[in-house]
């Protein structure tokens, strides 16, 4: 599923902020963000920009974000949206009235994706120098990228999943990695690119240390996981060196992921680390905010580190989404 970084949404409620006379909290689906008083009302449509959206610098409608959100990504300037607190109110994303965007059909339905139309892209944090390798080409078309949908965007579906059993694993704070074998060819990938197998980058080192080429021989599979450790993000887990934790194995021939049991058995057989498992039989709490609260807490890899959140998937992987810890988001500084 392609992430809708900018889409048409509806304000469903307004919640006063104690002590604030110029701003108010707006409920946008499962999200809450701060807006100016009088700018929107319940039932009114607008454009919602998710956290991690990178808004174009040359659009005057976003100029007010310069002081708080200006960033440079590579050689591109823009405004990165993050989780913030305003007057102690958690605010995630940006909601602006639809009338501010005459280029959008004012009768467009709720859910319409306007990411490309408005020039919005996803913010990607800088890659540490020792991770950098030589790009071979784009990410392989026959393997899906790993970017789970956030639960706040699944408010309608959430109610229908109350009796569904989920496998819950910890969302690790690292860098995405994919290794694959397909018809005799072995390859390694970062989140967005296929890389050459060379000596001087982390992706290659992990592939060689874990002997992934040998472990994949004979099967057209992709191993997808998170690399954590020294030099990666903040190394919250305080581990020495770097390590791979597998969260998905994709069957390239069948174009579907292995079941959780199939992935677990493969990792056990091949002596690969599996991401920490929180529960193998979890049912959703009645209210979405309760799930987000449960996503807070210490990491299973290091109790002194806060976990990034949870990833929830059914055993057969037909449903999957993530619940990111708001406490983690508030504490994270790149």
The residues facing 205 across adjacent strands are none
In contact, 291 and 323? CB cutoff 8 Å: yes
- Given the structure tokens 């469903």, which residue do they identify? 12
What tens digit of pLDDT does each residue of 150-185 get?
999 998 899 999 999 999 999 999 999 999 999 999
What tens digit of pLDDT does each residue of 227-249 get?
999 888 888 899 999 999 999 99
- Phi, psi (deg, nearest 5) at residue 66: -55, -45
What tens digit of pLDDT does each residue of 266-319 get?
999 999 999 999 999 999 999 999 999 999 999 999 999 999 999 999 999 999
Query: Which pLDDT score is estimated for 333?
Result: 47
Q: Judging by DSSP bridges, how do beta strands 273-274 and 242-251 pair with one another? A: parallel
Which residue in 246, 140, 253 sits closest to 190, CA to CA? 140
* Mean residue pLDDT across the chain: 92
Arithmetic mean of pLDDT, 199-226 = 93
pTM: 0.86
Query: Which pLDDT score is estimated for 332?
Result: 62
- Per-residue confidence band for 2, with pLDDT thresholds at 50, 70 and 90: low
User: Is residue 163 helix, strand or coil?
Assistant: coil
- Work out the angle at residue 279's Cα, subtended by the Cα atoms of residues 273 and 280, and round it to the nearest 5 degrees: 85
All domains of the chain in start order, with CATH? 6-122 (no CATH), 129-331 (3.30.470.30)
Query: How many C-beta atoms surround the C-beta of residue 82 within 10 A?
Result: 19
Q: Is the pLDDT of residue 128 over 90?
A: no
Query: Which pLDDT score is estimated for 232?
Result: 86
HEC string for the chain: CCCCCEEEEEEEEEECCCCCCCEEEEEECCEEEEEECCCCCCCCEEEEECCCEEEECCCHHHHHHHHHHEEEECCEEEEECCEEEECCEEEECEEEEHHHCCCCCCCCCCCCECCCCCCCEECCCCCCHHHCCCEEEECCCCCCCCCCCEHHHCHHHHHHCCCCCEEEEEECCCEEEEEEEECCEEEEECCCEEECCCCCCHHHHHHHHCCHHHHHCCCCEEEEEEEEECCCCCCCCCCCCEEEEEEEEEECCCCEECCHHHHHHHHHHHCCEECCEEEEEECCCCCHHHHHHHHCCECCCCCCCECCEEEEECCCCCCEEEEECHHHHHHCCC
Query: Which pLDDT score is estimated for 334?
Result: 42
Query: Which pLDDT score is estimated for 102?
Result: 97
Query: Which pLDDT score is estimated for 32?
Result: 95
Q: Which residue has the higher pLDDT, 300 or 134?
A: 300
Q: Is the pLDDT of residue 129 over 60?
A: no
Report the chain's terminal Cα–Cα distance, integer Å.
27
Instruction: Average the pLDDT over each of 168-172, 318-322, 324-328 and give the range with the smallest value.
Output: 324-328
Query: Which pLDDT score is estimated for 233?
Result: 83
Arithmetic mean of pLDDT, 83-102 = 94
- Per-residue confidence band for 135, with pLDDT thresholds at 50, 70 and 90: confident
Query: Which pLDDT score is estimated for 3?
Result: 77
């Amino acid at each position: 599923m392609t992430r809708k970084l900018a889409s048409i949404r509806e304000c469903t409620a307004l919640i006063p902020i104690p002590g604030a006379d110029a701003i108010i909290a707006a409920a946008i689906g499962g999200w809450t963000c701060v807006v100016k008083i009088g700018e929107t009302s319940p039932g009114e449509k607008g454009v919602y920009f998710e956290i991690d959206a990178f808004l174009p610098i040359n659009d005057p409608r976003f100029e007010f974000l310069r002081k708080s959100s200006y960033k440079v990504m590579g050689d591109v300037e823009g405004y990165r949206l993050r989780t913030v607190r305003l007057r102690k109110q958690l605010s995630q994303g940006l909601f602006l009235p639809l009338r501010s965007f005459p280029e959008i059909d004012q009768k467009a339905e709720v859910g319409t994706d306007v990411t490309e139309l408005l020039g919005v892209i996803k913010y990607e944090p800088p890659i540490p120098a020792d991770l950098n390798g030589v790009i071979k080409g784009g990410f392989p078309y026959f393997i899906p990228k790993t970017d789970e949908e956030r639960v706040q965007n699944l408010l309608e579906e959430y109610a229908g999943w109350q009796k569904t059993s989920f496998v819950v694993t910890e969302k690790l704070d690292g860098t995405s990695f994919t290794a694959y074998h397909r018809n005799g060819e072995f390859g390694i990938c970062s989140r967005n690119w296929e890389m050459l197998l060379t000596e001087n980058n982390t992706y290659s080192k992990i592939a060689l240390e874990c002997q992934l080429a040998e472990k994949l021989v004979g099967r057209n599979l992709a191993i997808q996981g998170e690399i954590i450790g020294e030099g990666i993000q903040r190394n919250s887990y305080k581990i020495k060196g770097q390590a791979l934790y597998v969260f998905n194995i994709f069957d390239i021939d069948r174009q579907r992921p292995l079941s959780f049991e199939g992935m677990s058995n493969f990792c056990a057989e091949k002596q690969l680390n599996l991401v920490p498992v929180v529960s193998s039989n979890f049912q959703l709490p009645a209210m979405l905010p309760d799930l987000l609260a449960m996503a807070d807490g210490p990491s299973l890899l290091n109790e002194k580190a806060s976990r990034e959140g949870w990833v929830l998937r059914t055993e057969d992987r037909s449903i999957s989404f993530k619940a990111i810890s708001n406490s983690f988001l508030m504490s994270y500084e790149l």
